[in-house]
Amino acid sequence: MSRDDSAVPNGRPTILVVDDLPENIHGLLEALKDDYSILVATDGPKAVELAQGPTPPDLVLLDVKMPGMDGYEVCRRLKSSPKTCNIPILFVTIVDASGEKIRGFSLGAADFITKPFDIDEVRARVKTHLELGRLRRVLEGRVERLNEYKHAADVSNIVARTDPAGVITYVNDAFVDTYGYSREELIGNSHRVIGDPSTPPGLIREMWSTILSGATWRGTYSNLSKSGEEVYVNNTIVPILNADGSIREFISTSVNVTYLIKQEELIRQQTTDALTGLPNRVKLMQDLGKASSRAMLGMINIDQFKAINDFYGLCNGDKVLLEIGDRLQKMAAGRALAYRIGGDLFALFSDNQGDAGGFESSIASIVNQLESVAVDCGDDKINIRVTAGICFGRDNTYTHAALALERARIERRDYLVYTDQMEIKSHYKDNIRWSQKIRNALNDGRIVPFFQPIVDNRSGKVCKHEALMRMIDEDGDVIAPTFLRAAKLSRQYAALTKAIFEQAVAVLAECAGEVTINLTVEDILDSNTVAFIDQKLAQPGIGPRVVLEITETEGIENYEEVRLFVDRMKGYGCKFAIDDFGSGYSNFVHLLRLKIDYLKIDGSIIMNIIDDPDSEAIAQVIVDAARRLGMRTVAEYVGSADIQIKAKQLGIDFSQGYYLGKPLPKPLSGGDAS
């Protein structure tokens, strides 16, 4: 879909929508067509052509993943052209990963919109960035005229004369107009009538000391008009001397620079972090743009800062940011400039200040000092951990430092220096690739359950099955759920849970016994997923044959919501199991509150109960405690006959593992496990 530039109505902002999928284009057109003129491109080259045409758009909505020239390359080309470099670019993407955002922002993107997008959010973001663009253009125009205004102020001097004691004897019209007092109110008074109480006393003493010595004084300070408004003046006071060298009078010639000061303050606010007062990301990017080949950048992140906010509160979180900003500024003084890039991310930048080895040593020392001294928040002291990424040189400095930081976090290192061998970008590409594979598999019905039998250790019979998630690849290969992290990052995890749940419930009509279905705490806290499960378990005969197995229980924060979910589902007759019990976070008290029916003993314990007395002892403790609490136990990862014999000797009620049966596309009909 396209149109001629001549069809753009006057007075309406123009938006260029770039996406290779017609349905996405249609959705954006429907959301924006009433308020904006729309240009459409279905590939990268066409987008560049339209943007650099006779009438550039006011804003670009740009898909990241496109065949051929992707969104990042389109962004890079537009930002490298003087004609299009100031056009706001909003990436529209299916990926919500911090690494992708860092890459986009480093190329000059203004914002990210995650698919599937919310229409109202799209409208709001578009409106906001169009307004920011307009304000930026206004500000740039004003800044360009600052010198013109200064010249105009120079020829419109505010003039006053005083006697040696500082009593006003004359004021010109500009003085009267500026301060709003009549001549009668001014003459005979001192300049205290317009004095600003906030003016430092030291400045006043310096001024009088200078002019009383017969020298000329120059300075900038603020006065107050009759209405109480601040008037900033650049003042020159010249003593007029008698023939004998005594002072006859003073002539004050000042220029009203209030507008300039306000503009400078506005510009400063645009490049200064409001909380810490440090230069912000905008200023850092400006400084990097002027950097030499000896530029050095260290990017420092406070690890798990969200947990600090959640545990200690936002107020204490702000205190941590303020303290870290202050420490960085002091520790780097004379060697580097400190910045707060945003959130929990800081930076130290140096240009022509020493060698790379010295800079790296400084970053290592700063990391150590930040971690060794707790932040004093009054009622408590907060210990922090930080991670840093370092880059040398002016080419892609910001991006490379961010990549080094990401790699350091992955490898759990204090810091890393960027090298060309870092392949962290491929990690992001893998996320995008898996996100697309998951989406395609969901659409094609290739997310399926495989059923692993669970054996009753008393009867030796298969009495239930666990529904395990698998992806059938396009070539027919079965893929284990190594893609769950990508599913969570791309917000497709809930769809996976629903797909498995629906198919697992459907097979109940074809087999005997119970079916165990895995749920994460994230599923339990998702209202849409809970409503879906509610609907399925409400069907006649389904609830009593379903066991909901809660996985990833480590660090559950909201037990009350989980307990309410358990109580609600037990109303349908279903049972609950806890996965991987005995490793990490295992708490019988919480299990009692949740009324759990089955404990699945962690596989790392079961696999070692033959050769490791500690593992055997732990398993026995779990079995005994569970029996006293009215719970039954399941041994996972039973991989041999010896392990199965030992599990039965320990009194474990059920067993599951490859020795007893591999996961299969269909549940077994029953019988002895072999």
Both 451 and 536 in a single domain? yes
From CA 271, how far away is CA 281, in angstroms rounded? 7
Q: Identify the CA nearest to 97 among candidates 112, 117, 107, 76.
A: 112
Both 413 and 436 in a single domain? no
Judge whether 555 lies within some domain: yes
Listing DSSP states for 96-114 in one string gives: --HHHHHHHHHHT--EEEE
pLDDT tens digit sequence for 26-57: 888 888 988 899 999 999 999 999 999 898 99
From CA 48, how far away is CA 26, in angstroms rounded? 20
Both 485 and 501 in a single domain? yes
Judge whether 406 lies within some domain: yes
Both 370 and 444 in a single domain? no
Domain C-terminal end among 404, 422, 440 = 422
Please name the residues in contact with 302: beta carbons below 8 A apart, sequence gap of 6 or more: 308, 320, 321, 324, 344, 345, 346, 384, 385, 386
CATH at residue 85: 3.40.50.2300
If DSSP codes are grouped into helix, strand and coil, which group holds residue 128?
Answer: helix
Judge whether 556 lies within some domain: yes
CATH at residue 336: 3.30.70.270
Cβ proximity of 110 and 58 under 8 Å: no
Band (pLDDT 50/70/90 cuts) for residue 2 is: very low
pLDDT tens digit sequence for 154-206: 456 888 999 999 999 999 888 999 999 999 999 999 999 999 998 888 898 99
Q: What pLDDT is recorded for position 447? A: 95
pLDDT tens digit sequence for 609-620: 998 888 898 889
The predicted model scores a pTM of 0.44
Radius of gyration of the chain (CA): 35
Beta strands in 152-246 (DSSP E): 158-162, 168-171, 217-224, 230-241
Q: What pLDDT is recorded for position 96? A: 66
Both 405 and 512 in a single domain? no
Both 457 and 337 in a single domain? no
From CA 321, how far away is CA 390, in angstroms rounded? 21
Q: Identify the CA nearest to 346 among candidates 365, 360, 366, 361.
A: 366
Band (pLDDT 50/70/90 cuts) for residue 585 is: very low
Element (H, E) at 84: none
Listing DSSP states for 569-600 in one string gives: HHTTT-EEEEEEETSSS--HHHHHHHT--EEE
Hey, what are 208's tokens?
């009088």
Burial of 335 (0-12, 13-18, 19+ CB in 10 A): middle
Give the number of other Cβ atoms within 10 Å of residue 306's Cβ: 11
Band (pLDDT 50/70/90 cuts) for residue 10 is: low
For the residues 122-140, what does the mean pLDDT come to?
A: 88
Range of the domain at 474: 430-655
Both 312 and 243 in a single domain? no
Average pLDDT score over the chain: 86
Lowest pLDDT segment from 88-92, 260-264, 628-632: 260-264
Q: What pLDDT is recorded for position 146? A: 66
Band (pLDDT 50/70/90 cuts) for residue 286 is: confident
Both 231 and 330 in a single domain? no
Q: What is the largest CA-CA distance in the chain?
A: 124
pLDDT tens digit sequence for 503-559: 999 999 888 899 999 998 889 989 999 999 999 999 999 999 999 998 855 556 667
CATH at residue 207: 3.30.450.20
Please name the residues in contact with 388: beta carbons below 8 A apart, sequence gap of 6 or more: 298, 299, 300, 301, 363, 366, 367, 405, 408, 414, 415, 416
Both 19 and 97 in a single domain? yes
Report whether pLDDT(592) > 80. no
Phi, psi of 55 (to 5 degrees): -125, 90
From CA 13, how far away is CA 1, in angstroms rounded? 19
Give the number of other Cβ atoms within 10 Å of residue 217's Cβ: 19
Q: Identify the CA nearest to 112 among candidates 96, 128, 132.
A: 96
Domain C-terminal end among 392, 422, 452 = 422
Judge whether 282 lies within some domain: yes
Both 122 and 157 in a single domain? no
Domain C-terminal end among 85, 107, 142 = 142
Instruction: Taking the CA atoms of 432, 435, 441 and 443 in sequence, report the sign of the dihedral they define.
Output: negative
Both 632 and 499 in a single domain? yes
Judge whether 673 lies within some domain: no
Q: How many domains does the chain have?
A: 4
For the residues 446-453, what does the mean pLDDT come to?
A: 94
Both 535 and 583 in a single domain? yes
Judge whether 604 lies within some domain: yes
Q: How far is CA 422 from the centre of its chain?
A: 22
| Nearest-10 crossing angle of helices 119-144, 22-32 | 70
Q: What pLDDT is recorded for position 638? A: 94
CATH at residue 556: 3.20.20.450
Q: What pLDDT is recorded for position 672? A: 43
pLDDT tens digit sequence for 368-382: 999 998 888 877 788
Please name the residues in contact with 561: beta carbons below 8 A apart, sequence gap of 6 or more: 524, 525
